[in-house]
Structure 1
Amino acid sequence: MKKTIAYSMVSLLMVTTLAACGSNNESDNNSKANNAGNDTTANAGTTNNAGTTNNGGTANAGGDADISGKVVFLTNRTDMVDKEYKDYEKRFEAKYPKVDLQFEAITDYDKNEKIRIASGSFPDVVLLSTLIPNADFPKYFAPLDDVKFDGDIYFKDFKSFDGKSYGISSGNSTVGIVYNKQAFAKAGITDVPKTYDEFLAACQKLKDAGIVPLASNFKDKWPLGAWYNDVPAVITGKADTANSRKDTDTPYTLDNTYGKSFSILKELYTKGFLEKDVNSTNWEQSKKDVAQGKFGMYLLGNWVINQVVDAGAKTEDVGFFPFPADNSGQAKAPLNPDWFYGVNKDGNVAAAKAFIQWMIEESGYDDFAGFIPTLKSKEPKLAQLTEFNSYNPTFVEAVPTDDTALSIQNKAQIDMDALVQEFVLAKDPQKVFDKVNGQWAKARKEFVK
């Protein structure tokens, strides 16, 4: 679905991925795991590790007195451990004195969480893995329809199955070009690019000025998710590229959406507009380099803006504009939910639901992460969204993942980030596509008759 949204309506908003979540990525843009809590596993109807019995329950039923015991959140934000999470713990436990809130942080979240869930050992609150089909949610997670938020929320039914919701978006975002205004000024760029040709010209000016035009974080892989999740939506104006793969044995071709998107990145690489050595990039360092103007741009979500500021940039020196993937001059941008909170159905369900509600309504995490808030009534505070919306982009709203397409993807074991890497570096990109199309077609036979 397409929407043109003015800034006054931007809170009526938001794939790579994922994570960042913040960051919205699979390894969530953080380099080191920091175990800030212990795993909790409890059987339904039995006493859990905190000494409380959990047979469900809502975040509101019975008031605060009913919320007790230990609750552990498995998070991707390793950078927040011993920092913001300490404040969250203090404030949440002040509201719920009988609760012991703990955090466990991991990297490579999607893969590691899926392993944990498959083993039956995962904490009370998690971020729903993008690798798990919606149809499998009832096996592991508690429905969240009874959590009564203070107003309507975005993407309420995105992680639903059989009429029940199993996930609440932690925040929402769009994806475009985050840029250092001082770097642009040094390179003599007076206007942000409105077309792809203008974008290439800006890249050349940055390169000529000794500035790396675009930080790809190629080696880190997960930032490449924008090239298969978000740029396709910009190219086509549709959000169903990934889902439509189920209808063909050859979803990856040079002349379709994936081929066009990956070819843009390959052109930027060939022209020397990415890091000098793409095989030795470093995510944490890149934030400092963008902040200092050594790198000119990111192609990422608005969630990264606060991280660039935290890395040393002045807020007024960081800008944000839609990525011009063609020469039409018509700005388009994806509107995406970030990670979704989910509750272990065999964990401390009541406390877990209370924690999710508190994170959405009271924590301030959406402001810290630079998100478009999950609550529709709450205006985003990120100033750069004002600039972004001044270009009047048409927003392409994300659609739920099709379980058949996801099942084929999982069976084929196609690493999309690695696919982008191989395509960009390949002398013959068609051979790269031929290989993954073979994997896809073989897996598809099991799900599409």
Structure 2
Amino acid sequence: MKINLKALAAGTLVAIAQLAHSADLTFWSWRVEDKAFYESVARDYRKVSGDDVKFSAYKNTEYPTVLSAALASGGGPDIIHTRAYGGLSNLADAGYLLPLTSTTVPGLAAFGPSLDGARGFKPPHDKEFHGVPFATQSLGIIYNKAVLAKAGVTEMPATWDEFKALCATLKAKGVTPLANGTRDAAVLEQVFGVVGPNFYGGTDFFSAVKMGNKTFADPGFVKAIEEVVGLKQFMPANSLGIGENESRTLFSTGMTAFFITGTWNIDTVREMNAKLDFDMVPAPPLRKGGKAWVSTFADGNYSISASSKNRAAALKFINYLASRDFGQRLINELRQTSAVPGTKADDKVLAGINSKARTDGTPFVMLVGFRYQNPNGSVLLRDGLQKLIQGQGTAQQLAQDIQTGLASWHKPFQK
């Protein structure tokens, strides 16, 4: 079958309908919470394409093992919901994913930095794309306007020191400032992603460590670690037992003023309390009027199994997933930031932080740059922060441990 690439480039369901073919496609994902959405997409896609798409979702913690086992045995789905960066590179470098180009998927030509999350790690896979990015995420501080107003605060503090002073004032009044706990190491990395860039220097620092011109023992990075650890005093008293789910509940029920998190929780908070009046902003800058960085990252990709027996139909579906029609549907129905260029968020909170990310975005340092091999940067940072919060070690020691661990495989550090 010859695929009509010009029709695919239009990226609409109508164009796809012109591609006369019928196939049964399987689509695996870890997005259990989005099952209804993807099943609805599949029903609508079938009406115009004639192709069936069976969506199967697995628990987030089980998905990597289930998927890897299936692919290693020559099985698995046609369409694979892949992670980004290191999560994708493991599959791409093993030859499990079909390389994609702007010829087979014309829409890829318009995608921006999110495509970096669709590359492999080892040559030649680092020069190839192995997926269509599906969403981008940003990190920031969600704040409850009513809680702050009750404390006499009508706007977010202008500097980081003022933010900490406000947290101390709220705590003195019996209000828990932060919803965050320390049980989930991944959440601590997210907190670092919000607070850290203003101290270590955002994108300039990220570029420098990628090139080996700076190290993670840099004083700015050490200071960022210290600031994150210092936030424990503003967390709930039982912070050791609080993970992301509990933090969502605390914030959504008005028990705390702030929730340091990512844009994926905007929709969750709305679902938990539709009447809650809240907004999302970057961490305040060190100096009034200074730069306030927003850590961003590609959240994952839609990929095709290299062993798919329905390659033409899979490419047809992937082209639809790269279209503005689908991207706008994703942002409207899931309130996630679609990676498809030209899509816009109607949700004011999401649109606001997205605007900040466009002007002051910086890579979420460990996920974007240092999760490709072991020991990976995220694990080193997460585990180290947990230990520091429990009183074990120093920020300087953690920074050096990160540097030493990453130098074992990050070649620029070996110069």
Classify the TM-score, shorter chain.
0.7 to 0.9
Looking at structure 1, the residues matched to 295 and 210 of structure 2 have their Cα atoms a distance apart, in angstroms, of 22
What SS class does the counterpart of residue 300 from structure 1 fall into?
A: strand
Q: What is the aligned partner in structure 2 of residue 367 from structure 1? A: 332
For residue 65 of structure 1, give the secondary structure of its aligned residue in structure 2.
Answer: coil
Question: How far 1:448 moved relative to its partner?
Answer: 3.8
Aligned to 2:231: 268
Q: Secondary structure at the match of 1:170?
A: strand
CA distance in 2, matches of 1:393, 1:323: 16
2:385 corresponding residue in structure 1: 420
2:85 aligned with 1:130: yes
Q: Shift in Å at residue 199 of structure 1?
A: 0.8
Give the partner amino acid of 1:367. N
The CA deviation string for residues 274-301 of structure 1, in whole angstroms up to 9 with x for no partner, is 1222221132232232122112222222
The aligned counterpart of 1:297 is 258
Structure 2 CA distance for aligned equivalents of residues 78 and 434 of structure 1: 38
Partner of 2:59: 106
* Match of residue 314, structure 2, among 352, 368, 376: 352
Match of 1:169 in 2: 133
2:183 corresponds in structure 1 to 219
The two structures have a TM-score, normalised by structure 1, of 0.72
In structure 2, relative to structure 1, the CA distance for the partners of 1:434 and 1:372 (3 Å cut) is closer
Distance 1:69 1:427 in 2: 54
Q: What residue is the counterpart of 1:201 in the other structure?
A: 165
Would the alpha carbon gap of residues 70 and 386 (structure 1) be closer, same or farther in structure 2, given more than 3 Å must change? Answer: closer
For 1:9, the equivalent position in structure 2 comes to: none
> Going by fraction, where is helix more abundant, 1 or 2?
2
Match of 1:65 among 20, 42, 60: 20
**Structure with the larger RCO, 1 or 2 (CA within 8 Å, 6+ apart):** 1
Amino acid at match of 2:86: L
Shift of 1:118: 7.2
Verify the 8 A CA contact 1:245 1:405 in the aligned structure 2: no
Does residue 319 of the first structure (1) align with residue 300 of the second (2)? Answer: no
Following TM superposition, by how much is the alpha carbon of 1:55 offset from its aligned partner in structure 2, in angstroms? 12
Question: Residue 87 of structure 1 aligns to a residue in which SS?
Answer: helix
The alpha carbon displacement at 1:100 in A equals 3.5
Shift of 1:104: 2.0
Query: What is the total number of aligned residue pairs between the two structures?
Result: 390
> Cα gap change, 1:260/1:245 in structure 2, threshold over 3 Å: closer, same or farther?
same
Amino acid at match of 2:226: S
Distance 1:448-1:253 versus aligned 2 partners, 3 A rule: closer
1:135 Cα offset (Å): 9.0
- Output the CA distance in 2 between the equivalents of 1:228 and 1:109: 26
User: What one-letter code is carried by the residue in structure 2 that aligns with 1:80?
Assistant: D
CA deviations on 1:383-434 (whole Å, 9 max, x unpaired) are 0145547889841343999999555544799443222212322343244445
Q: Residues 180-226 of structure 1, C-alpha deviation per residue, up to 9 Å, x if partnerless?
A: 11121222222211201111122123323433212224212222232
Equivalents in 2 of 1:344, 1:301: separation in Å? 30
- 3-state DSSP of counterpart to 2:346: coil
* Aligned counterparts of 2:223 and 2:406: Cα–Cα separation in 1: 19
Contact in 2 for aligned 1:144/1:353 (Cα 8 Å): no
SS in 1 for 2:113: coil
Identify if the C-alpha distance between structure 1 residues 136 and 394 changes in structure 2 by more than 3 Å, giving closer, same or farther: same
Q: Which whole-Å CA distance do the structure 1 matches of 2:368 and 2:158 have between them?
A: 36
Structure-2 separation of matches of 1:186 and 1:311: 22
Which residue of the partner structure matches residue 383 of structure 1? 348
Match of 2:300 among 339, 344, 360: 339
Identical columns (%): 19
The one-letter code sitting in structure 1 at the alignment partner of 2:34 is M
Letter of the 2:33 partner, please give it.
D
Match of 1:142 in 2: 98
Query: Measured at CA, do residues 405 and 389 of structure 1 come closer, stay the same or move farther in structure 2, by a change above 3 Å?
Result: closer
Q: For residues 402 and 78 of structure 1, do their structure 2 counterparts lie closer, same or farther at Cα, with a shift above 3 Å needed? A: closer
Per-residue deviation, residues 349-396 of structure 1 (Å, max 9, x unmatched): 334344444445344222334333323222222201455478898413
- Is the CA contact 2:143–2:278 (under 8 Å) kept in the aligned structure 1? yes
User: Which residues of structure 2 form unaligned runs of 5+?
Assistant: 9-15, 120-124
Counterpart of 1:381, as a letter, is D
- Counterpart CA distance in 2 for 1:401 and 1:201 is 29
Question: Match of 2:343, as an amino acid?
Answer: K
